[in-house]
Amino acid sequence: MVLYKDGKVYLKIVYWGMGGSGKTTILKTLYRITKENKKEIVPIGDLQIIEKASGATLYFDRGLFQSTKQKVYYRVYTVAGQKGFSPLRKKIFDKTEDQTDAVILVVDSQTKFLKDNIESLLELKNLARNRLINEIPMIVMLNKQDLGDVIDEEAFKLVLKDEKLWYEPEHKSYNWNPLIYSSCAIFEQRKDIYSSFHECARRTYHFYGDSNIPYPYIFKPPNPPDDFEMAPQVQIRSPLKEKDSEDGINCQYCGKELTKEEQLTHSCKKKPE
């Protein structure tokens, strides 16, 4: 997350998945849906698509989207899924315009590609260094559900459980388990393209905007985009605290109910040293 002094927040969401899983098509369809319809999240400018003649992503795709209700902007990336692009995926995940705040894992649902999907998930898990779900919200899209012989939600849930990316109800992170969408990326047959992105954006803003981050993290963000006149300030990710209700956040030490601005700035005198 990057927070600027005028209150504008930039969050970075990455579509991750094996080559050919449909990430670029999803981004194109998302752009068209949000551009042509009145949605809560809308695109700014055009998409940047860098692809081969075959349509495969050559380096990455990206777009900028904005919430119409808050001063929140979403930098959205797709990564090239081919195995030879691993170093580039790492750079996009960790460095390009700040590190990743949330991931949408795009799965090619065809059963013949299950092993390739698992390899892609393992690479993501290793790159995230155990931060998935607990620090980095994750959504799963089982794409290409319009084809035959595909895996379903329950089958992929078993994969997540095997990789310890799915929590049982008694676990504190149970409510952050990835939502799994059965999707189709093609615009004419689109299914759960906007709803999956909107849920990821909602979780990400809730996660960061409410300061529900398990570990402190402070760094100086990059310069803002050229088309926005904003002065950067230090980014602060605060320690995890429990929510008392959906409508407000209370300080875990003094119990004071905090406004959204205070959630980012509140320094409690009762906090133990």
Q: What is the pLDDT of residues 152-196, one digit of tens each?
A: 999 999 999 999 999 999 999 999 999 999 999 999 999 999 999
- Please check the confidence at residue 12 and state whether its pLDDT lies above 80: yes
Nearest alpha-carbon partner for 15 in 35, 1, 29, 34: 29
Instruction: Quote the CA–CA distance of 98 and 57 in Å, as a whole number.
Output: 21
Most confident of 10-24, 85-99, 219-233: 10-24
pLDDT at 242: 37
**CA–CA distance, 212 with 95 (Å, rounded to integer):** 23
Q: 163 vs 55, 98, 103, 177, 244, CA distance in Å? A: 31, 27, 16, 13, 31
Spatial contact of 260 and 209, defined as CB atoms under 8 Å apart: yes
Residues paired with residue 243 on neighbouring β-strands, in sequence order: none
Residue range 109-136: average pLDDT? 95
Name the average pLDDT for the chain: 80
Q: pLDDT at position 251, please?
A: 62
Question: Where does the pLDDT of residue 76 fall: very low under 50, low under 70, confident under 90, or very high at 90 and above?
Answer: very high
For 123, other C-beta atoms within 10 Å of its C-beta total 18
More confident of the two residues 67 and 252: 67
CA 92/CA 255 separation, integer angstroms: 39
In DSSP terms, 104 is beta-bridged to: 15, 139
Measured distance CA(258)–CA(249) in Å, rounded:
6
Chain centroid to CA 5: 23
**Does position 130 have pLDDT exceeding 60, yes or no?**
yes
Domain boundaries, the chain: 2-209
* 240 class by beta-carbon count within 10 Å (0-12 exposed, 13-18 middle, 19+ buried): middle
Exposed / middle / buried, residue 266 (Cβ in 10 Å: 0-12, 13-18, 19+): middle
Whether pLDDT at 218 is above 80: no
CB 57 within 8 A of CB 79: yes
Nearest CA to 106 among 139, 132, 154, 137?
139
Is 267:238 a contact under the CB 8 Å cutoff? no
Q: Do strands 235-237 and 217-219 pair parallel, antiparallel, or not at all (unpaired)?
A: antiparallel
Q: Residue 118, SS3?
A: helix
Q: What pLDDT band is residue 205 in, cutting at 50, 70 and 90?
A: confident
CATH number of 2-209: 3.40.50.300
